[in-house]
Amino acid sequence: MLAINHFLRSTVVLLAQALMLDTRGGLGWLDMLQVIGDSFAASPLVNCELEALRFRRADIEAAVSKRQSRQQCRRVTTIRDHRGMARYIAC
């Protein structure tokens, strides 16, 4: 479950970064969402987020609280360090 939550959290962070970069590049909000939605990056999770973002809804709720996220990140890094895994695995 930790790996899945880490993957989902990373996906949403990457979506936010892509939208920020596109906005700074001068692309229109709806155009950006359309391009992302039509790309290979459009997983069911991304499409769910895009639908809410199309209407810029303010009622988007996090699936995991900040507290839970911090705890999961600590677990991931503890497992990584204990097993001698690569340092690029981070939260």
Confidence (pLDDT) at 76: 75
Q: Which domain holds residue 24?
A: 2-62
Question: Is 16 inside any structural domain?
Answer: yes
Question: Is 22 inside any structural domain?
Answer: yes
19-50 pLDDT per residue, tens: 888 778 888 888 888 888 898 888 888 888 88
Max Cα–Cα distance, the chain, nearest Å: 45
What's the number of CA atoms in the CB half-sphere (13 Å) around residue 22? Answer: 16
Residue 90 has pLDDT above 60, yes or no: no
Residue whose C-alpha is closest to residue 12's, from 40, 38, 56, 48: 48
First-residue to last-residue Cα distance in the chain: 15
Confidence (pLDDT) at 55: 77
Mean pLDDT of the chain, nearest integer: 76
Question: Is 8 inside any structural domain?
Answer: yes
Q: How many domains does the chain have?
A: 1
Those residues whose C-beta lies under 8 Å from the C-beta of residue 18, and which sit 6 or more positions away, are 32, 36
Question: Is 68 inside any structural domain?
Answer: no
pTM, full prediction? 0.56
